[in-house]
C-alpha cells in the first residue's frame, strides 16, 4: 500500500551511541517532516525538507541531523544519543502545505 514507511519501529540505545531513522514515501511528495511526540507535549517539529537536497530546522533541532539525498527518503540521525531524546518519532509527507500530511506509524526510541 502507498504511504510512509518508518524503520525501525523500536530501538533501545545507550547514551552516546548513534543511529539513523529512515523514512520512505512512495507518493512522490515534495515535503517531508520529522516530529517527536512526548507525553503532554503534542508533536514538535525537528527538521523538515521542501524537496530533494534541501533541509531546514524546525522547533527542536538540537542533537539531530537530517539528509534528503533522494526525494523519497528522509533520514534522521542522532550522533550521540541522550536520555532526553527518548521519544516516539514520526515522519510525515505532503504534496503541498494545504493537503494535509500522511504520517508513518512511528519509531519508539529509548535511550538508557
Q: Can you tell me the distance from the alpha carbon of 15 to that of 17, in angstroms, rounded to the nearest whole number? A: 6
Cβ nearer to other proteins, comparing 17 with 44: 44
19-38 residues in contact with other proteins (CB under 8 A) are 31, 33, 35
Q: What is the DSSP string of the chain?
A: --SEEEE-SEEEE-TT--EEEEEEESS--SEEEEEEEETTTEEEEEEEESSTT--EE-SS-TTEEEE-SSTTEEEEEESS--GGG-EEEEEEEESSTTT--EE---EEEEE-
d(CA 27, CA 14): 35
Piece of the chain touching other proteins by CB under 8 A; list 11-19, 21-29, 75-83, 103-111? 103-111
Using the rule CB under 8 A, give the single segment among 20-28, 41-49, 63-71, 72-80 that binds other proteins.
Answer: 41-49
User: Cell 514507511 appears where?
Assistant: 5
Q: Please report, as residue ranges, which positions from 45 to 84 form the binding site for other proteins (by CB under 8 A).
A: 45, 48, 50, 56, 58
Q: Which of 16, 53, 83, 100 binds other proteins (CB under 8 A)?
A: 100
* Binding residue (CB under 8 A) for other proteins from 28, 70, 82, 97: 97
The one among 41, 83, 84, 110 contacting other proteins by CB under 8 A? 41
14 vs 39 by CB, closer to other proteins: 39
Amino acid at each position: 500500500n502507498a504511504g510512509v514507511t518508518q524503520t525501525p519501529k523500536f530501538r533501545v540505545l545507550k547514551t552516546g551511541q548513534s543511529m539513523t531513522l529512515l523514512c520512505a514515501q512512495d507518493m512522490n511528495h515534495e515535503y517531508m517532516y520529522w516530529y517527536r511526540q512526548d507525553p503532554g507535549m503534542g508533536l514538535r517539529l525537528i527538521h523538515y525538507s521542501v524537496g530533494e537536497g534541501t533541509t531546514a530546522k524546525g522547533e527542536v533541532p538540537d542533537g539531530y541531523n537530517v539528509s534528503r539525498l533522494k526525494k523519497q527518503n528522509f533520514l534522521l540521525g542522532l550522533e550521540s544519543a541522550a536520555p532526553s531524546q527518548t521519544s516516539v518519532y514520526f515522519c510525515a509527507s505532503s504534496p503541498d502545505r494545504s493537503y494535509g500530511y500522511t504520517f508513518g506509524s512511528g519509531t519508539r526510541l529509548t535511550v538508557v
